[in-house]
Amino acid sequence: MITIGQLASFAGCTVKAVRTYHARGLLPEPPRDAAGYRRYDARSVVDLVRIVTLVRSGVPLAQVPAVLGAGGEEQQAAVERIDADLGRRIEDLRHRREQLRLLRAPDRLCLPERVVAYLERLRALGVAEAYVAVERDGWILAAAVAPASVGGWLPVKERLLDDPGYVEVLRGYAAVLDAAPDDPRLDALAAATAALVRRTPQEADPADVDLPRAVLDLLASCGTWSPAWAALGERVGRLLAER
Amino acid sequence: MITIGQLASFAGCTVKAVRTYHARGLLPEPPRDAAGYRRYDARSVVDLVRIVTLVRSGVPLAQVPAVLGAGGEEQQAAVERIDADLGRRIEDLRHRREQLRLLRAPDRLCLPERVVAYLERLRALGVAEAYVAVERDGWILAAAVAPASVGGWLPVKERLLDDPGYVEVLRGYAAVLDAAPDDPRLDALAAATAALVRRTPQEADPADVDLPRAVLDLLASCGTWSPAWAALGERVGRLLAER
DNA sequence: GCTTGACCTTGCCCCTGGGGCAGGGTTGTT
DNA sequence: AACAACCCTGCCCCAGGGGCAAGGTCAAGC
């Protein structure tokens, strides 16, 4: 007649684990002595060793009775199920680990290959890192809210980078990213933007048509992340409306 | 201005997850509208997409701020730690899965190779399966409470199987496993056991000497798992004491 | 105007496999 | 008589949410 502590140390588990197995009905509650202590016999040791062995083999507590109590076929089937489940969990962790490795480069975070290449091209043009970060966030947003449209917008933006006038304006936007809304540079930049828009063919983007209103609003709001940009947008709008 | 449901669907997670991230401080609470609904903007979408990406890559929620907020070096270190942890968990699951595969043969449950061989030899001698099961439990018990002694006992038991007289008595014990304590066969079996004990050299087992009292009692109690065996033990004791 | 269904809010309990602590009782040894 | 080492129950905690209750809100269709 041994105590719970001895039982646990024989079976190589903790006292808490033994009490958990009692509560789960995996191991029957033994009789108590006068002080209310649980008193175990040899059977309990054997039963507990079996349970501990199964648990350490990855059998979920809920499946332990099925594996211990069932005869050959049923047991076999239960073990196969548990084995398959372990395999799935291993695969899942492995997949997460691969994803994690892809995150090591911060740009790759959440973005398709081609967008990463586009951002790299921006950097090569000498655009400030802060502006690239804003563009990156914009693409993350676009990929989240309108994934089907990203493939259509990307070639347009790539072609724009071939236009020196566009790149000049873009550098201007990057320069005033943290500027105040009344920065003196904004007037010239707004005029340059308006001129650029006027000489750029304005075809309606077919990919945008189906987007719900909420998505369009979200995407539009990207242009106002910087107070200076918000002011710019307003001035450009006025200039374009003038003529 | 979008609602929590739209936000969640954009980021590819559940509404519940968004609220959990708020509660965990991973994503700031947005302003509420007149009805008390949370109203999100484009920034929230980008932030949430980042969080979801990290979580799906196996980053624990508690580590997400460290990975998102930290700059290069710190972030790198955090990712390395998480990667190492994922590796440990994968290894653990793989190890459990291997253990599980070893359990497919029920005899192997918790037992060293040589004990399995011994049990196989018992079976080959034509001993009833129920008896083999009792022996198996006895070995599980022994391996749990006195693992250092099993190596000493095993050769002794193996040698005993070479003695036809011992095997005969053993068959007798197997036959009365489920018998009543007053079964008529018990008298002859007790006499045969006593005779066997008398002609077997009784060396004290050196491995037993150091075992604590509780362990010895446990091991001794194996002999009384069957009521008939308990009665047999008593009768054999009386016969041996007689002369 | 009224209903219906979809959406939002908070709060609570559930899952795994125990860990850890509080507060109190029981042994066995000195 | 004190002390350490056990034992008891009951409670809260971990990750990452799932699911439900009970109630408030919004838009569409009749």
> What's the Rg (C-alpha) of chain A?
33
Q: Write out the two tokens for A189.
A: 């930049």
Nearest neighbour of B218 by CB, restricted to A2, A221, A222 = A2
For residues A67 and A178, membership in a common domain is answered with no
Please write the tens of the pLDDT for every residue from B32-44: 999 999 999 999 9
Tell me whether B1 touches chain A (CB under 8 Å): yes
Place of tokens 């003695």: B163
Residue A173 binned pLDDT confidence (cut-offs 50, 70, 90): very high
How many C-beta atoms lie closer than 10 Å to residue B71's C-beta?
8
Q: Can you name the residues that pair with B2 across neighbouring β-strands?
A: B40
For residues B97 and B29, membership in a common domain is answered with yes
**A106 chain-B contacts, CB cut-off 8 A:** 75
Decide: A175 and A226 in contact? Cβ < 8 Å. Answer: no
For residues B62 and B88, membership in a common domain is answered with yes
Burial of B103-138, coded b for 16+ CB within 10 Å and e otherwise, reads beeebebbbeeebbebbeebeeeebbeebbebbbbb
Interface size between A and B, measured as CB pairs under 8 A? 144
CA distance A48 to chain B (A): 10
CB-count exposure of residue A162 (10 Å: 0-12, 13-18, 19+) = exposed
CA distance B202 to chain A (A): 26
Contact between the CB of B13 and strand D at under 7 Å: yes
For residues B97 and B110, membership in a common domain is answered with no
pLDDT (average), residues B2-7: 94
Please write the tens of the pLDDT for every residue from B74-122: 788 888 899 999 999 999 999 999 888 887 765 556 678 889 899 999 9
Whole-angstrom distance, CA of residue B166 vs CA of residue B199: 11
Whole-angstrom distance, CA of residue A86 vs CA of residue B96: 8
CA angle A66, A67, A71 (to 5 degrees): 90
Torsion of CA A81, A84, A89, A92, to 10 degrees: -140
- Give the pTM: 0.87
pLDDT (average), residues A82-103: 91
Q: Between A211 and B187, where is the model more confident?
A: B187
Average per-residue pLDDT for chain A:
89
For residues A208 and A139, membership in a common domain is answered with yes
pLDDT (average), residues B140-164: 91
Whole-angstrom distance, CA of residue A46 vs CA of residue B110: 10
- Contact criterion met (CB < 8 Å) for B42 and A218: yes
CA–C1' B72–D4 (A): 52
Tell me whether B58 touches chain A (CB under 8 Å): yes
For residues B120 and B18, membership in a common domain is answered with no
For residues A116 and A96, membership in a common domain is answered with no
Largest CA distance in chain B: 100
pLDDT (average), residues A215-221: 89
Residue type, A131: Y
Decide: A42 and B144 in contact? Cβ < 8 Å. Answer: no
Nearest partner of B48 among B82, B20, B79, B77, judged by Cα: B20
Whole-angstrom distance, CA of residue A15 vs CA of residue A160: 69
Query: Which of A96, A108, A115, A135 would best serve as a mutation to test chain B binding (most B beta carbons within 10 A)?
Result: A96
pLDDT (average), residues B62-82: 83
Residue B16: CATH number of its domain: 1.10.1660.10
Average per-residue pLDDT for chain B:
89
First-last CA distance in chain B: 99
Residue type, B236: V
Domain closes at, from B80, B101, B122: B101
Instruction: List the single range of A10-19, A168-177, B203-212 with lowest mean pLDDT.
Output: B203-212
**A83 chain-B contacts, CB cut-off 8 A:** 97, 100-101
Decide: B59 and B24 in contact? Cβ < 8 Å. Answer: no
Contact between the CB of B33 and strand D at under 7 Å: yes
- Contact criterion met (CB < 8 Å) for A90 and B86: no
Footprint of strand C on the protein (CB under 7 A): A 13-14, 16-17, 20, 33-37, 55, 60-62; B 3-6, 15, 19, 36-38
Task: Output the pLDDT for position A204.
Answer: 59
Domain closes at, from A68, A101, A134: A101
Whole-angstrom distance, CA of residue A217 vs CA of residue A212: 9
**What are the angstrom distances between the C-alpha of A88 and each of A76, A91, B58, B90, B93?**
18, 5, 15, 11, 10
Has residue A212 got a pLDDT over 90?
Answer: no
Has residue A105 got a pLDDT over 70?
Answer: no
Whole-angstrom distance, CA of residue B40 vs CA of residue B49: 13
Torsion of CA B218, B223, B225, B227, to 10 degrees: -140
Decide: A146 and A219 in contact? Cβ < 8 Å. Answer: yes
CA distance B200 to chain A (A): 28
Highest-confidence segment of A42-51, B68-77, B98-107: A42-51
For residues B90 and B110, membership in a common domain is answered with no
Task: Output the pLDDT for position B195.
Answer: 93
* Residue B32 φ/ψ region, left for φ over 0, alpha for ψ in the -120 to 50 degree band, beta for the rest: beta
Owning domain of residue B110: 105-242
Query: Phi then psi for B201, rounded to 5 degrees?
Result: -60, 125
Query: Which of A41, A218, A219, A221 would best serve as a mutation to test chain B binding (most B beta carbons within 10 A)?
Result: A218
pLDDT (average), residues B193-220: 80
Q: Write out the two tokens for A186.
A: 């904004």
- Contact criterion met (CB < 8 Å) for A86 and B109: no
For residues A61 and A80, membership in a common domain is answered with yes
The residues in B 84-123 lying below 8 A from A, measured between CB atoms, are 86-87, 89-90, 93-94, 96-97, 99-104, 106, 109-110
For residues A227 and A131, membership in a common domain is answered with yes
Length of chain A: 243
- Contact criterion met (CB < 8 Å) for A50 and B222: no
For residues A78 and A110, membership in a common domain is answered with no
Q: Tell me how many domains chain B contains.
A: 2
Domain closes at, from A72, A101, A130: A101
Nearest partner of A167 among A242, A175, B170, judged by Cα: A175
Tell me whether B137 touches chain A (CB under 8 Å): yes
Dihedral sign for Cα A109, A110, A112, A117, please: negative
Has residue A110 got a pLDDT over 70?
Answer: no
pLDDT (average), residues A37-46: 96
For residues A95 and A159, membership in a common domain is answered with no
- Contact criterion met (CB < 8 Å) for A49 and B110: yes
Has residue A194 got a pLDDT over 70?
Answer: yes
pLDDT (average), residues A40-61: 94
Query: Which of A76, A86, A103 would best serve as a mutation to test chain B binding (most B beta carbons within 10 A)?
Result: A103
pLDDT (average), residues A146-153: 88
Has residue B175 got a pLDDT over 90?
Answer: yes
